[in-house]
Homo-oligomer: A and B are copies of this chain.
């Protein structure tokens, strides 16, 4: 139980000068400071290769806040309180002897520490070994790594082996920042505290489920990295499958880490594997060509800076899958994600089954089920489409669809802040692993994605194309319309 777990006051951030720290983690610490969530004794040690002083780091922190926190939220008092917590230690992470610097710097600090690896996975092993030889690891230390862990099952297993050399599974925090979003966390409450939904959250009540993560950004300066991954590995393996797990899992017995993780693992185990016999009707991959977004011309994927013109890497996938268990018999789960799409939209759409006879006009068109839209971006909230009578004196000759909405940003005064890191950082400090991924989940997700890619390659599936600024290739619509379904459009 979380009650017995030690609270941590020493946070060591490897890669403090890197992109992730500057853009996401430091701003997240700021919001936590502002909201009074941080213990007085919390200290943060930034680790980097460059030789900078504590004060120079603090200047970098200030700069990060200036750039990445909206001006209206900046308060100098809070900035000062926060930067006092930051210290710096220069360290070449590949050199075992450098870790003694670390030891020296935090010898008076409260222990155990949390080690956050905002660095390349290639350095994970040396960091673990270095921390070990510097005797900085205790059974209560925590180590944090960012998803994706690896780029396929094998590399993921290698990384996990390195981490488990010195850390137990209960000490490893694999972050998927999607899971820090308020709405994602709300999925659990939404599903298990609302009888209206929970009583129909199964194949008797639900017709199909969509999970969409559309991005409007292209690949830009990380072409080389992305081209080795592709959209399936970059987005489905991590974020989309996690959302799927939270939507589909059985009610956990309790809300503790183990109960939730074990339910998520069960979903991944039940996820129908894509193989060469079924891949053609269940998997669409595509790459963007040039097009326009908001009136601005965008190059195609193979014309981006640094691109290889022959690349066959997918920037879009649409997948139809099923969860082979009692609850979800025959309910299609559609996943869709792509780059350079019309807008950045992340949402889960639950299509409830129709239940009844259509009495609202003479054409006897079939009754549609209600739709629950869970938005993660651009807004965070939930919205239920209900059918109502169109206003006016005419009687019931038709129905209209209106949204009943609950906007978490409005009702809960959520800030328009760019990440879910605050909540995850707090979980690391307090030792709550429920929103972090266990090894089994990560590896099952990789295995499923590896199978899909392999099946697609083996059967020489076509790579389709879509113009930048659209919602993907026509084959994505066909994938779902063959079941009489369609992607939700606002």
Which residues of A does B touch, CB under 8 Å? Answer: 32, 35, 37, 182, 185-186, 188-190, 192-200, 205, 251-255, 352-360, 367, 369-370, 372, 382-384, 386-393, 395-396, 399, 402-406, 408, 411-414, 422-423, 426-427, 432, 434
Q: B residues within 8 A CB of A185?
A: 389, 395-396
- A177 CB to closest chain B CB (Å) equals 14
Chain B hits for A195, CB < 8 A: 352-356, 367, 369-370
Minimal Cβ-Cβ distance residue in B for A367: B193
Q: Which of B189, B355, B388 contacts A198 (CB 8 A)?
A: B355
Could you list 7 further interchain pairs (A-B, Cβ under 8 angstroms) beyond the known A195-B355, A404-B405? A186-B389, A189-B399, A192-B359, A194-B386, A196-B384, A383-B404, A391-B413
In the complex, what distance in Å separates the CA atom of A406 from the CA atom of B400?
13
Measured between beta carbons, the chain B residues less than 8 angstroms from A423 are: 393
Q: Can you name 10 A-B pairs with beta carbons within 8 Å?
A: A185-B395, A189-B387, A189-B388, A195-B353, A199-B200, A200-B200, A255-B359, A255-B360, A383-B404, A402-B412
Q: Is the CB of B404 within 8 A of A355?
A: no
CA distance A203 to B414 in the complex (A): 38
Q: Which of B198, B356, B406 contacts A192 (CB 8 A)?
A: B356
When distances are taken between beta carbons in the complex, the residues of chain B under 8 Å from A200 are 196, 199-200
* Contact present for B193 and A399 (CB under 8 Å): yes
- The answer to whether B432 touches A395, judged by C-beta atoms less than 8 angstroms apart, is yes
Q: Give the most central of A199, A251, A384, A387: most B CB within 10 Å.
A: A199
Q: Which of A190, A200, A388, A399 has the most CB of B within 10 A?
A: A388
A357: chain B residues within 8 A (beta carbon):
251
Task: Say whether A396 contacts B360, CB under 8 Å.
Answer: no
Please tell me if the beta carbons of A388 and B355 are within 8 angstroms of each other in the complex: no
**Contact (Cβ within 8 A) A198 B356:** yes
Q: Is the CB of A32 within 8 A of B393?
A: yes
Q: A406's closest neighbor in chain B, by CB?
A: B404
Q: Tell whether, in the assembled complex, residue B182 and residue A391 are in contact, meaning their CB atoms are under 8 Å apart.
A: yes
- Which listed residue (B193, B354, B402) contacts A406, Cβ 8 A? B402
From A182, A355, A408, A423, residue with most partner B Cβ within 10 Å: A355
Q: What's the least CB distance linking A196 to chain B, in Å?
A: 4
A297 to B404 Cα, complex, angstroms: 39
